[in-house]
Homo-oligomer: A and B are copies of this chain.
């Protein structure tokens, strides 16, 4: 399973800013389950509450909201693979600086952060976290310090200057001296959109599903390289100088990360996934009795496959949704337990049947192996695995937690070998063209580096192709 690493959210101009942000983060929970946090600003001071855990654990008491006053709020949900002093890395991060109070919540990964940190340290900077967010806060504070005091109104110019030195993926929601500011990197790797709240004010979110829950109408996505400053008086739009070049939207947001009810590029993610399934059926037909999905992420693709192939859809696997990050795997030798606790087959649906299993993607192949074995043990006569994305051959350096190149099964095995390893009667991956044909055009706007190694930045090109990966990122 791949992991998206963050979700960001912000509110300006609504007296329930903290409560709405809580709801927004709850809707973005799938983007990060490790920690959650909200920072608010009430015109005088910043208030924050951050903890490890799911949104509804971190904000488990109505009294918390009473301690988060103000009409402006930013929030963050985080997933991270790395260890020590985790709470310190939780976001949003808020600091005092020359311009007053500065907060930031960040989704994405900078590709040159070590160089930038080294440069900052050489200037005397101190770092309390290993996050790119802190690096960005340093850059913004220094851009302010290079100007005369009291130039807070020049936010766009200052951000332009601060972000000029960094490259990579960033969808940022910031609170700069009480103003809500959203910025998306010039290539637009990660999604970011904003909307108007019916009860008043504005909301910024990683995905539109988080606008829905606060009853905000999606205005539009924030463009790559765009800066949006949100005040009570309405949004102002600015551009980074570096905007206007090639785009690199992560196509995996359509395949797996984003929620199906979110709109990206004017279409719901669910519809793109239906297309993935339809194209998969056309490219890799199967003689089978039934189509089943690996729930829930592959439900739409399985529907599309069933529709295009005419093979009836069935519930072949039931997913237990109660699993959480705290699940203890008892030390004992139950075969395939880590798959078994998540999925259970419906035996009388599978028994004696030739089954098409639709899954969204394959990373290491070990989970697929166990899952297919479980399906076969439940009585399936034939198992035909159909994957709604091309083989993943390269690690991601822009905010997805991928294993190193050597652990990616498609990087070290050809498709027939993978089929043998997983133990299926046939295996079909959606083609690269089939993938791009499923999503809104133009095709050139997508980052597909995990499939073909064509990293947008030269500096990571070499690392990715030669096989490093799994950096600590945000």
**A contact residues vs B (CB 8 Å cutoff):** 16, 19-20, 22-23, 26-27, 29-30, 33, 45, 47-48, 54-57, 59-62, 65, 84-85, 93-98, 102, 117, 121-128, 130, 137-138, 141-146, 149, 199, 209, 212-215, 259-261, 263, 267-268, 270-271, 296, 299-300, 303, 307, 312-315, 318, 320-324, 326-328, 330-335, 337, 340-341, 344-349
In the bound complex, CA of A271 to CA of B299 (Å): 19
Q: Which chain B residue shows the least CB distance to A322?
A: B29
Task: Check B60–A326 contact: CB distance below 8 A.
Answer: yes
Q: Which of A30, A59, A318, A340 is packed against the most chain B CB atoms within 10 Å? A: A318
In the bound complex, CA of A19 to CA of B330 (Å): 6
Task: Check A346–B312 contact: CB distance below 8 A.
Answer: no
Q: Which chain B residue shows the least CB distance to A212?
A: B344
Task: Check A56–B324 contact: CB distance below 8 A.
Answer: yes
Q: Which of A54, A124, A299, A345 is packed against the most chain B CB atoms within 10 Å? A: A124
Task: Check A128–B93 contact: CB distance below 8 A.
Answer: yes
Task: Check A142–B124 contact: CB distance below 8 A.
Answer: yes
Chain A contact residues: helix, strand, loop or mixed: mixed
In the bound complex, CA of A48 to CA of B268 (Å): 45
Task: Check A65–B330 contact: CB distance below 8 A.
Answer: yes
Chain B residue numbers with a CB within 8 Å of A346 are 260-261, 268, 270-271
Task: Check B102–A318 contact: CB distance below 8 A.
Answer: no
Task: Check A327–B126 contact: CB distance below 8 A.
Answer: no
Chain B residue numbers with a CB within 8 Å of A16 are 330, 332
Task: Check A23–B121 contact: CB distance below 8 A.
Answer: no
- Which of B22, B141, B314 is the one whose CB lies under 8 Å from A330? B22
In the bound complex, CA of A97 to CA of B117 (Å): 9
In the bound complex, CA of A262 to CA of B126 (Å): 36
- Those 8 A-B pairs whose CB atoms lie nearest each other, nearest first: A124-B142, A124-B145, A19-B330, A95-B126, A321-B321, A261-B318, A96-B127, A98-B121
With A60-B328, A97-B124 given, name 12 new contacts (CB 8 A). A23-B330, A26-B320, A62-B328, A96-B126, A97-B127, A124-B142, A213-B341, A214-B334, A263-B347, A268-B347, A268-B348, A303-B314
Q: Which chain B residue shows the least CB distance to A39?
A: B85
Chain B residue numbers with a CB within 8 Å of A144 are 124
Contact A127/B263 with A47-B84, A199-B334, A330-B23 known, Cβ cut-off 8 Å: no
Chain B residue numbers with a CB within 8 Å of A94 are 128
Task: Check B62–A330 contact: CB distance below 8 A.
Answer: yes
Task: Check B122–A145 contact: CB distance below 8 A.
Answer: yes
Closest Cβ of chain B: how far from A299's Cβ, in Å? Answer: 6
Chain B residue numbers with a CB within 8 Å of A60 are 326, 328
- Which of B117, B138, B263 is the one whose CB lies under 8 Å from A348? B263
Task: Check A141–B125 contact: CB distance below 8 A.
Answer: yes
Task: Check A55–B322 contact: CB distance below 8 A.
Answer: yes
Closest Cβ of chain B: how far from A282's Cβ, in Å? Answer: 18
